[in-house]
């Protein structure tokens, strides 16, 4: 959520930003907020003045009664009664205007960085940098579900009977590999100085509204029937919400955390749940990283965070690239974002495995996350998030890039301690 002062002082900046994000249907919100804000502040002033006058007149009544000026006191009482009768109506209108303003403000996108490429959708994202040489071996790379099946490691059919489409059973060495990469990612981030966290997997609606846009909420979140609880789509949601309505100390910043959690997503409006494989699914597990910091530090942390992803994937023999997200591909709360994409030798292209975002103070304003500066003033913090590793999707890149001609999969040295010292996994007889 942006600062309403920007609408009060320079509506053109807000409107231009909306146009850059190709959300012209939101342009009327800016003028509506501007007009309602004027009305709201005027009404609030009048209500405050009315309450102040009631207090002053009440004291006057006391003085008049003390001086036995009963008639005068009764006249003042009548005036007080008239004013008091109007206050509830004024307060009700205040609340209505405040709610209408908030509703629109929650839909107006965050101001994006000046250097974000302008484009309507992800087809206009910019391929900025490559890390590692993408290799296409001289032997066939099967579809990832077939690779997993060769190790007796995937059962989608049974999962379909039990849970429906979009779920899976992982077994044997593939399940162990899944857990190993999560444990490795956890320790990788701890070694970078991040505090390990296992957060709640369900959060209340006010926390959901604080961390994401309404569109994302409707398309992603599973609601718990009969309760004010949602299943998290990523642990960033509950980690950032941990600081809801808190005033942090300046010397506590930056707060750097890494978390493990299962994630649950409806995937409404996406490219569809994958029937054969495990690229787009309803349930997965993830290691995430978040940072809460001072505004002047958020861009430095943004660069550190996406670079951590590159470093981690390179230790697993996976070539990656950095793809800069264009304006139309940024969720409403994002100032800037990039995807780290892994090389797929089977498809001879890259696919997303991490997403790093700087949200400046957009989440902090929604959640009320501030910090107290040395001079006593309070300022909204900046928040950032990035995927560390999200298996089973990243397993696709891992298996394809480490698959050998004989069907075995090499375990990179960094991961071997988490696989009981194994240097490769081999195909199983069915």
Evaluated on CA atoms 94, 97, 100, 101, the torsion sign reads: negative
How far is it, in rounded angstroms, from Cα 183 to Cα 192? 14
Residue 274 has pLDDT above 60, yes or no: no
How far is it, in rounded angstroms, from Cα 418 to Cα 173? 12
Look up tokens 């405040």; give the residue.
98
Higher pLDDT, 153 or 55: 153
Q: DSSP character for 158? A: H
**pLDDT of amino acid 213:** 76
How far is it, in rounded angstroms, from Cα 5 to Cα 403? 56
**pLDDT of amino acid 378:** 97
Annotate 312-342 with DSSP letters as a single string. Answer: HHHHTT--EEEEEPPGGGS-TT-SEEEEEEE
Among 357, 236, 360, 240, CA closest to 306: 357
Residue 127 has phi, psi (to 5 degrees) of -75, 105
Burial class (CB in 10 A: 0-12, 13-18, 19+), 70: exposed
Higher pLDDT, 54 or 303: 303
Residue 143 has pLDDT above 60, yes or no: yes
Lowest mean pLDDT among 70-79, 196-205, 398-407: 70-79
Kind plus residue range of the DSSP H or E element containing 64: helix 27-66
Strands (E), 178-279: 195-197, 202-203, 222-223, 230-231, 247-249, 255-264
pLDDT class of 276 with cuts at 50, 70, 90: confident
CATH of 122-425, one of 3.90.70.10, 3.20.20.70, 1.10.10.60, 3.30.930.10: 3.30.930.10
Residue 325 has pLDDT above 60, yes or no: yes
Q: Residues 147, 395: contact at Cβ < 8 Å?
A: no
**pLDDT of amino acid 221:** 87
Among 354, 369, 338, CA closest to 255: 369
Q: Which two tokens stand for residue 144?
A: 């990832």
Q: What is the mean pLDDT of residues 361-383?
A: 96
How far is it, in rounded angstroms, from Cα 186 to Cα 197? 10
**pLDDT of amino acid 343:** 97
Look up tokens 């299962």; give the residue.
262
Question: What torsion, rounded to 10 degrees, do the Cα atoms 235, 240, 245, 248 define?
Answer: 140
Residue 249's beta-bridge partner residues?
372
**pLDDT of amino acid 2:** 93
**pLDDT of amino acid 187:** 98
Mean pLDDT over each residue of the chain, to the nearest integer: 93
pLDDT class of 74 with cuts at 50, 70, 90: confident
Residue 268 has pLDDT above 80, yes or no: no
**Entry pTM:** 0.89
Q: Residues 213, 331: contact at Cβ < 8 Å?
A: yes
pLDDT, tens only, 278-296: 888 889 999 999 999 999 9
Lowest mean pLDDT among 20-24, 242-246, 270-274: 270-274
Residue 202 has pLDDT above 90, yes or no: yes
**pLDDT of amino acid 224:** 93
pLDDT, tens only, 76-101: 888 888 888 888 898 999 999 999 99
Residue-range domain boundaries for the chain: 4-105, 122-425
pLDDT, tens only, 304-314: 999 999 999 99
Q: What is the mean pLDDT of residues 55-60?
A: 86
> Which residues have CB under 8 Å from 428's CB, separation 6+?
150, 151, 152, 172, 173
Q: What is the mean pLDDT of residues 395-404?
A: 96
**pLDDT of amino acid 173:** 96
**pLDDT of amino acid 242:** 96
Would you tell me the crossing angle of helices 172-191 and 298-315 to the nearest 10 degrees? Answer: 140
Q: Which two tokens stand for residue 372?
A: 């107290």
CATH topology for the 4-105 domain: Helix Hairpins (1.10.287)
pLDDT, tens only, 327-343: 999 999 999 999 999 99
**pLDDT of amino acid 429:** 67
Helices (H) then strands (E): counts for the chain: 13, 18
pLDDT, tens only, 173-196: 999 999 999 999 999 999 999 999
Q: What is the mean pLDDT of residues 222-230?
A: 93
Q: Tell me what percent of the residues of the chain surpass a pLDDT of 90.
A: 78
pLDDT, tens only, 110-123: 999 999 999 999 99
């Amino acid at each position: 959520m942006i600062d309403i002062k920007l609408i009060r002082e320079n509506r053109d900046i807000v409107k231009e930003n909306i146009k850059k994000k190709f959300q012209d249907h939101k342009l009327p919100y800016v003028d509506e907020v501007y007009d309602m804000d004027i009305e709201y502040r005027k009404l609030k002033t009048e209500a405050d003045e009315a309450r102040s006058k009631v207090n002053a007149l009440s004291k006057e009544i006391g003085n008049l009664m003390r001086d036995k000026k009963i008639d005068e006191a009764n006249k003042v009482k009548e005036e007080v009664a008239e004013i008091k009768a109007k206050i509830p109506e004024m307060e009700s209108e205040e609340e209505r205007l405040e709610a209408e303003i908030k509703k629109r403000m929650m839909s107006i996108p965050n101001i994006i960085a000046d250097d974000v490429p302008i484009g309507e959708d992800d087809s206009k994202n910019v391929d900025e940098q490559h890390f590692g040489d993408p290799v296409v071996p001289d032997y066939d790379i099967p579809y990832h579900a077939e690779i997993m099946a060769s190790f007796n490691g995937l059962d989608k059919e049974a999962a379909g009977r039990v849970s429906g489409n979009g779920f899976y059973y992982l077994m044997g060495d593939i399940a162990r590999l899944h857990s190993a990469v999560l444990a490795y990612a956890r320790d990788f981030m701890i070694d970078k100085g991040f505090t390990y966290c296992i957060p709640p997997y369900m959060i209340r609606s006010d926390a959901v509204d604080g961390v994401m846009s309404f569109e994302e909420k409707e398309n992603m979140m599973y609601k718990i029937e009969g309760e004010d609880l949602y299943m998290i789509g990523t642990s960033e949601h509950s980690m950032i919400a941990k600081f809801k309505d808190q005033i942090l100390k300046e010397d506590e910043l930056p707060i750097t955390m890494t978390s493990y959690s299962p994630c649950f997503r409806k995937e409404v409006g996406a490219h569809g749940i994958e029937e054969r494989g495990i690229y787009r699914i309803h349930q997965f597990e993830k290691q995430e990283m978040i940072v809460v910091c001072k505004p002047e530090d958020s861009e430095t942390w943004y660069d550190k965070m996406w670079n951590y992803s590159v470093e981690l994937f390179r230790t697993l023999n996976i070539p990656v690239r950095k793809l800069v997200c264009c304006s139309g591909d940024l969720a409403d709360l994002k100032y800037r974002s990039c995807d780290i994409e892994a090389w797929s030798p089977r498809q001879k292209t890259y696919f997303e495995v991490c997403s790093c975002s700087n949200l400046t103070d957009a989440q902090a304003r929604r959640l009320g996350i501030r910090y107290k500066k040395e001079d006593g003033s309070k300022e909204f913090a900046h928040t950032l998030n990035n995927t560390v590793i999200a298996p089973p999707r990243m397993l696709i890149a891992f298996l394809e890039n480490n698959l050998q001609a004989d069907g075995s999969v090499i375990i990179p040295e960094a991961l071997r301690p988490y696989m009981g010292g194994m240097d490769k996994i081999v195909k199983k007889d069915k």
